[in-house]
Amino acid sequence: MPLVNPKELFQKCYGKYAIGAFNVNNMEILQGVIEAAKEERSPLILQISKGARNYAKLVYLMKLIEAAVQDAPDIPIVVHLDHGDSVELCKEVIDAGFTSVMIDGSHLPFEENVRITKEVVDYAHPRGVAVEGELGRLVGVEEHVVVSEREATYTDPDKAVEFVERTGVDSLAIAIGTSHGAYKFKGEPKLDFDRLREIAKRLPGFPLVLHGASSVLPEYVEKANQYGAKLGGAKGVPEEMIREATKMGICKVNIDTDLRLAVTATIREIFALHPEEFDPRKYLGPAREEVKKLVKHKLRNVLGSSGTI
């Protein structure tokens, strides 16, 4: 089937399970993710960041995704722009065939965020493309002990309603305590589920998005460290918390760091155990296999999207 708009996927999964949005940077990661979705009979969101585009060139990534669609003809696949930082970039990728874009104005003043997000919606919707906006800031490592600090960065439920109404976005990324990367918490992991519940209550049935949703699986961190990495103190969102969030209106769960860790741990082990090896297929192949194993686990045991197509 052709690439799909995520709207229908979100309607179907709301409150029950979530769609995994996996960052794609190269062929091996893409193939690992696709093989997992095929075996699990699960829909997929493939997301491309500005960084991915700078690394691999958009034309290469789009051709790889075209190949994936051909290789997995019955899997609904969304191609999404992750953290679009300008109206121009969103328009460019819409014209290139993306079926979903994120315009991330979360660092801007509210009115400015509304303005640019609405501009993207006005361009995207007539072209059949969905738009994700973001309200609230994802902050790393620092613990939110001070209430005023939390109020300044976490998503305000009143503002979320106003933002959705005024922009017409199809989904909203919210800040409830997650952050990007491998160092999400200093102490015990904690998410503001009361806030999520409140936002979901005020926006009934409206798809919410969780960024920074990697779990930073200890097995990968330990293996990478065992073979020379320095990832001390790495900590992610426990899988149980992700499961809980998918029951509360989170329809899209963004995962990048976990893929990076799976690749890195695998390659480090091979380099350490087989120093004579110099054929990239001998370490990129196993890394791809590990990505597949990880994504199957996420789809089946964390997101709950296995067997839904």
Ligand X SMILES: O=C(CO)COP(=O)(O)O
- For ligand G3H, the binding residue among 1, 8, 16, 51 (CB under 6 A) is 51
Contact flags string 8-37 toward ligand G3H, x per CB under 6 A:
---------------x--------------
CB 67 within 8 A of CB 27: no
258 catalytic residue (yes or no)? no
* Binding of ligand G3H by 179 (CB under 6 A): no
- For ligand G3H, the binding residue among 180, 293, 297, 300 (CB under 6 A) is 180
What is the distance between the alpha carbons of residues 225 and 233, in angstroms, rounded to a whole number? 11
Which amino acid appears at position 169 of this protein?
V
CB 261 within 8 A of CB 236: no
Distances (CA, A) of 178 to 57, 201, 246, 262: 29, 20, 14, 20
3-state secondary structure of 258: helix
* Binding of ligand X by 264 (CB under 6 A): no
- Which residue among 82, 170, 192, 258 is the active-site one? 82
Binding site, annotated residues for dihydroxyacetone phosphate? 181, 212-214, 254-257
Q: Which long-range contacts (CB under 8 A, 24 or more apart) does 58-62 make?
A: 58/93, 58/96, 61/24, 62/96, 62/97
- For ligand G3H, the binding residue among 21, 34, 43, 49 (CB under 6 A) is 49
- For Zn ion, the binding residue among 42, 47, 106, 264 (CB under 5 A) is 106
From the CB of 128, what's the least distance to ligand G3H, in Å? 25
Output Rg (C-alpha) for the chain, integer angstroms: 19
Site for ligand X in 201-220 (CB under 6 A): 211-214
Ramachandran quadrant class, 133 (left: phi over 0; alpha: psi -120 to 50; beta: rest): beta
Count, residues near ligand G3H per rule CB under 6 A: 8
* Binding of ligand X by 15 (CB under 6 A): no
Q: Which neighbouring-strand residues pair with 20?
A: 253
* Binding of Zn ion by 211 (CB under 5 A): yes
* Binding of ligand X by 252 (CB under 6 A): no
Tokens of 67: 């190949």
Closest CB to ligand G3H among 138 and 270?
138
- For ligand G3H, the binding residue among 33, 52, 81, 209 (CB under 6 A) is 52
DSSP secondary structure code for residue 9 in this structure: H
* Binding of ligand X by 80 (CB under 6 A): no
Select the span of 22-30, 85-93, 134-142, 301-309 touching Zn ion (CB under 5 A): 134-142
Locus of tokens 């699986």: 217
Closest CB to ligand X among 22 and 270?
22
Q: Which residues of 36-57 are buried (b: 16+ CB within 10 A; e: fewer)?
A: bbbebebbbbbbbbbebbeebe
Q: Which does 255 bind (CB under 5 to 8 A by kind): ligand X, Zn ion, ligand G3H, none?
A: ligand X
Q: Would you state the torsion angle of the CA atoms of residues 145, 149, 152, 157, taken in this order, to the nearest 10 degrees?
A: 20
**Which positions are annotated as active-site residues?**
82
Residues in touch with Zn ion (CB under 5 A): 104, 106, 134, 211
